[in-house]
Amino acid sequence: MFEDIHALVEFAEAGSIARAASRLHRTPSAITRQMQRLEAELGAQLLDRSVKPPRLTPLGIRVVAQSRDVLKHVDDLKALAATDAEPSGLFRIGVSHALADGTLVKPVQALTKRFPKLRLSLLSDLAGDLIAKVRAGQLDLAVVLRPHARTPTWQAMSASQWVLNPPGCLLRAALLGILDKVGPPATIAAEIHNMHLQLAFIKAGYGLGLLPERFVRRYAGGAIRIIKPKDLELQMTIAIVRAGPLGSLEAVAAQFKDHLARAFGK
C-alpha cells in the first residue's frame, strides 16, 4: 500500500499518469494498476476518469494531502534509524548522583552547539535505577560510576556512623562491602538522595560520608576534612551504559562520550 500511496502523490504532483510513470521509472500501465489497487483498498474513487487526462476527485485531493503526511512520517522513521542522518529530537541522558554537578555543563553545551536540532533531557538518579531505565528504553544512555575496590585494613572507620546514598548506589555497595570485611556492620545514620544535602549533614557532624573529592573541594569551602586512608583503594570508573543501537543519535552518544572524558579527565 505504501508504494501505491507514493504513486498517488507523484500523480498529483506530476499532473498525469505518464509524467508520474516517468518520475518513478515505471510504465504508465503500472501506475494505472497502482491507482486502481489503492482505490480498491480504500473503497473509494480517487481519480475522475471521465476526463482526459484523469484528474483527482475531491476525495482524491483530500487523500493526497494525508498521503503526503504518511510519506513524511515514513521519511522521518528512516532518518531516525539512519546513522548518517542529522540527529534531531529528544536525547535522554541519565547521570548518577555522584557525577551530577557543574562539570556536566560544558559537555551538554557542546552537544547542543554541535547538534542544534537536538533536545536534551537529563535525569539524575542512583546508578542501579538508571541502568534499569536504560534497559526499559526510558533512557538512551546513562553515565554511572563503577567501583573497583581492594579490601583495606579499615577497622577504625568500620564502626563509624555514615551518611550515604540510599540502597541501589554502586558506590555505597562497594563501601559497605569493604566495611563488612574489616569490622562490624557499618551504622548508617542517614540515607540521603542528594549530594549537597549529604554534605550539609556531614558538615553538621552527623557522620562520615563518601563523596567525590572534586565535589567536596568545590562546595565544602574547607569546612570538611578529607580522609584518605593509605591502605584504602576505592577507585571508580565512569562508564556509559547503553541498551543497543541509537540510529541517528549514535553521533550524539559518541560526542557526549568524548566531551565527558575531557571534562572529568581534568
Q: pLDDT tens digits, residue range 63-112?
A: 889 888 888 887 777 766 767 778 888 899 999 887 888 888 888 888 88
Alpha helix stretches (DSSP H) within 89-167: 105-114, 127-135, 155-158
Res 264: pLDDT: 77
* Alpha-carbon gap, residue 229 to 94, rounded angstroms: 31
Question: 3-class DSSP state for residue 116?
Answer: coil
Q: Is the pLDDT of residue 14 over 60?
A: yes
3-state class of 256 per DSSP?
Answer: helix
> What average pLDDT score do residues 171-191 get?
83
Structure pTM? 0.50
SS3 content of the chain, % helix, strand, coil (to 5): 50, 20, 30
Name the β-bridge partners of 141: 93
Instruction: Give the C-alpha separation, 4 to 187, whole Å.
Output: 70
Does 34 or 184 have the greater pLDDT score?
34
What is the rounded CA–CA span in Å between residue 20 and residue 38? Answer: 15
Cell 500511496 sits at which residue? 5
For residue 228, CA distances in Å to 35, 57, 150, 161, 211 come to 77, 81, 14, 17, 12
For the segment 106-132, the average pLDDT, to the nearest whole number, is 89
